[in-house]
Amino acid sequence: MTTESDLATAASASDPRVGLRAVRALRRLLEELERTQVRRARAQGWSWAEIGDALEVSRQAVHKKHGKD
Amino acid sequence: MLERFTKRAREVVERAQSIAMESRASQVRPEHLFAAILWDDQCLAVRVLVAQGGTTDRLHAELDRRRARYVDGLDEEDAAALASIGIDLEEVVRRLGDEPLQRKRSRFTRVSRRFSRPAKKVLELSLREAVSLRHNYIGTEHLLLGLVRQGDVIVRDTLVAAGVDTSTLREGVQEALRQAG
């Protein structure tokens, strides 16, 4: 682990800046993970409805978000 | 809108797509447009940047340093923030990488990337910059002004670190155009 990370770990308890940055980063990471997994599922032949079920969102929502990826 | 772009500016937009794809980004972001501008070191935008105090070497180095290292859109500071809540970003990326994204059906392999909302904003702002300068075309110089006005953090920090004075960028563009005749 880098010094920077150690500093962040030490600061996190009290510093909302680090905490909020982590929230933002987590959101982006989540988006990336979702894109990756949806693509993978599609490549393996999953239907949009199946993907929607797995994510607990509607087929339309998942298609609207990832249909053009 | 693209019909008003000069050949060079159109090439920048196309190159930004290739750069986004090469860096495995899911969308074209402002940093990719910036990298695409810097790639053409003879273009008016780069000449303006140099006149405003930057050097091409430094601009390239500073931009490369800031571009996402771990995963699309996440930099070292993000990695540190995630580490503070117990998430090892490098490990996450490594595990994702263990299952390579082999797309079996070609229809899922896109040959281009969509522009992110901020990147679209950059294009829109370059049009506005051109209009306010009473130019009837959009060149690399307008793309640069649009990028700076959009305010992407990576672009802004790169310019500052490379020693470019962005406060007089518009004047710099006008001066460069005068010199180019």
B28 three-state secondary structure: strand
| Structural domain containing residue B51 | 2-68+114-180
Q: What is the pLDDT of residues B20-62, one digit of tens each?
A: 888 777 789 999 999 999 999 999 999 999 999 999 999 999 9
Among B23, B96, B85, smallest CA distance to A35 is for: B96
Q: How confident is the model at residue A9 (pLDDT cuts 50, 70, 90)?
A: low
pLDDT of residue B81: 87
CB spacing of B80 vs A42 below 8 angstroms: no
Query: So what's the ipTM on this one?
Result: 0.72
Q: Is the residue at B6 inside a domain?
A: yes
Kindly report the nearest CA distance between residue A26 and chain B, in angstroms: 7
pTM, entire model: 0.66
Q: Does A19 touch chain B (CB under 8 A)?
A: yes
Q: What's the mean pLDDT when you consider all of chain A?
A: 83
Q: What is the pLDDT of residues B135-156, one digit of tens each?
A: 999 999 999 999 999 998 889 9
Per-position DSSP letters for B36-55, written without gaps between them: HHHH-TTSHHHHHHHHTT--
> What residue segments make up the domains of chain A, in order of their start?
3-66
Amino acid at B109: T
Find out whether B172 and B67 touch, Cβ atoms under 8 Å. no
Question: Which whole number is the average pLDDT over A4-29?
Answer: 74
Provide the terminal-to-terminal Cα distance of chain A, rounded to the nearest Å. 34
Structure tokens at B131: 């209009």
For B25, nearest residue in chain A (alpha carbons): A32
Q: Is the residue at B104 inside a domain?
A: no
